[in-house]
Structure 1
């Protein structure tokens, strides 16, 4: 009796595989794991053979019967459907190879589509991963011939040397390129999907940060007493007040600062989330910026490097200053000022949305995000001045000790 969709849906797994027959050699194997595999039994050249026709329900009953009928037509013409399938696959693969599209050519094409939306730093980072860690192993290979094992072999070289996070980044990069290739018709399948499942999980890293008011006061006193390169000193004194990302502060230019409005507007190309960010400037920050003008002179950068006026100070310069003050990597980091501010402002009862907006964290709801940026500016302005006054009080308390 031929199969029905109801019988297929209701077929339950058993301890051992079993078969459900349809007609003319078509049947389904039901596995103990619950899989339902279509097979066609036929004879060719005096031998009994099996042809895989897909899985149910991805391949429905009607589609499976259609595939069976196509196979039987080939048999009637003296053609083995299994051999025909292999030959067709080989021809298709050769056709893709004839296009001459290597992994490197496809990756560079993908990069050319995407880079315009990235910061220069991110562009350089992605290109470096491609040229130094993927192209040496995959670059010259025809794209259509690559399979998951090829991608894993390249990615796991980073994993083998202990660079687990880098391996995950490379897996994501391969996945994006493979997905692009499929969408634009360069490849038939996205074979690089899900590569991270085969990698060692990344341990979440937390930046060391001081969250005790007393310890923060001690740090602020140390920063205030620190003597070194003027740009480093001023940057470290300003950073606790504004708690932006290190690169956003170090790359600041004078044209971004509006002294009349007491605002610093970071343009989207310098922001991680690619959107402008308004930072209300407390009186203390305005004074420090005016002081910094005496050192930067006519240069466009607020914190120019002592080695080159066209380059800003480095993140390592700020970090080394903290280390010279006696703060090890387990105590405080440059990025830690963001955690410090977030923790203490939340503890003091400030509105979480104000804090998140000031940290320039991504808002999942784009409409709400635009609303927040406009609506919370007066509240953030008050919060930032009160925060600056609070920091001064902590520093003063330690100076009086």
Structure 2
């Protein structure tokens, strides 16, 4: 046989024991001591008393050996298990020395959790997703500081769940989104052979105690009246009021407003153009969303332009760019706390629920395909092939009817001069 373990425990020899290993550990000797065990395992004791476990074997007819650990960092039982592992590799015609070197190189080049998530973001998300920077920021805040340096394939399901459950206790929505992004990154990494496992693949947000209200939460008339009474108060932030009302009026995604530049709003032609890079499907369809601006919306936009003091952005940050998307979470949280103190059995809402409220509110005011265009949705079926019309007039009529309907609910009379 070309490849074999060298068995040199001769009759009369005694297998290694912990007591013998302890007796020679750290004891200076005049010469190198070699003592055999079984399955090709042996130890070398240096003149300084260092004990090295070795595996001796033959490969291609030649004797060879590899170090497999030092005592006591590697115990006798563990050394025997490692020797059996390499014996199995040898029987599968794999050279133990090559197997060991491969394991070392794999460990050195192993992707950390941070490395995997960053690679996925750079390859699959950056400049391809409207919220690309928010995705990375979520990792940088919640994931990288705590477990980012751990080799990905060494991270157990318990490590992931402990982290996500801690996040969900504070911000359930954030934890749910992070789970979604991490699972996508794991799937991407496995397909490319970058990682070997995807521990969260079978985990759902409901497993983590996050209740989804997808499609359920809209604000009723009493809640809308209370919401407007809070944000109409002169002491309330004008910018936050404009943000809430524009989201409710247009039914737009909050990111479309937060990223908007003043130049996107043509108040002479009364048209808001949402560029492809600012809306969810824009980078795929490469088309803008075109919305008409009715007078109540124009007043809110003028207020924001005034507050921006010449900024290019409709809602600028102190640093000069647009405000960070996550800022709206705190606005909604504050409003929810105020509303919850005044309403029984109150259920919190998110900024996206204003969009649902608007869609529900216009259901009986316009045709379904016009409502979908107002939301920035892509038309389905033959509509998307043959219908390239922007329906600006139909949208404008629907927005006016919707704001009249809303002001009747909130102020008990339509078309008030005080829309903001």
**Above 0.5 in TM-score?**
yes
- Displacement of 1:184: 3.7
What aligned pairs does 1:1-400 form with structure 2 within 5 A after superposition? 84-85=91-92, 87=94, 95=102, 97-98=104-105, 100-104=108-112, 105-114=115-124, 115-118=126-129, 119=131, 120-136=133-149, 138=150, 141=151, 146=153, 150-161=155-166, 163=168, 172-186=180-194, 191-192=198-199, 194-196=201-203, 199-200=207-208, 202-205=210-213, 209-212=218-221, 216-217=224-225, 219-220=227-228, 223-275=231-283, 276-304=288-316, 310=321, 312=323, 314-315=327-328, 316-317=330-331, 319-320=333-334, 330=347, 333-346=350-363, 348=364, 350-361=366-377, 369=384, 374=389, 376-397=391-412
Q: Deviations 1:101-150 (Å, cap 9, x if unpaired)?
A: 222244433332132323322232244454135424x3xx3x6xx37xx4
Query: Do the aligned partners of residues 246 and 397 (structure 1) sit closer, same or farther apart at CA in structure 2, a change above 3 Å counting?
Result: same
CA RMSD between the two structures = 4.2
Q: Number of aligned pairs?
A: 308
Give the distance between the partners of 1:93 and 1:180, measured in 2 at CA. Answer: 28
Change (3 A) 1:282 1:197: closer
Aligned counterparts of 2:91 and 2:348: Cα–Cα separation in 1: 67
Q: Which runs of 5+ in 2 are unaligned?
A: 1-86
In structure 2, relative to structure 1, the CA distance for the partners of 1:256 and 1:233 (3 Å cut) is same
* CA pair 85-383 structure 1, distance change in 2 beyond 3 A: farther
After superposition, the C-alpha distances for 1:165-210 in whole angstroms (9 at most, x for unaligned) are: 66665555454444444444445x5555734279546421358542
Measure, in 1, the Cα distance between the counterparts of 2:139 and 2:380: 25
The answer as to whether partners of 1:155 and 1:171 remain within 8 angstroms in 2 is no
Judged with a 3 Å threshold, the aligned counterparts in structure 2 of structure 1 residues 204 and 293 are, in CA distance, closer, same or farther, namely closer
How many Å apart are 1:257 and its aligned residue? 0.6
- Following the alignment from structure 1 to structure 2, what is the Cα–Cα distance between the partners of residues 86 and 374? 68
1:182–1:383 Cα change, 3 Å: same
What are structure 1's unaligned runs of at least 5 residues? 1-79
Deviations 1:315-342 (A, max 9, x none): 2246535755776763655433212212
Deviation per residue, 1:275-324 (Å, 9 max, x gap): 5333221122123323444433312232346x666554842246535755
**Larger-gyration structure (1/2):** 2
Distance, in Å, in 1 between the alignment partners of 2:383 and 2:253 is: 23
Contact 1:357/1:373 (<8 A) preserved? no
Deviations 1:11-48 (A, max 9, x none): xxxxxxxxxxxxxxxxxxxxxxxxxxxxxxxxxxxxxx
CA contact (8 A) 1:253 1:302 kept: yes
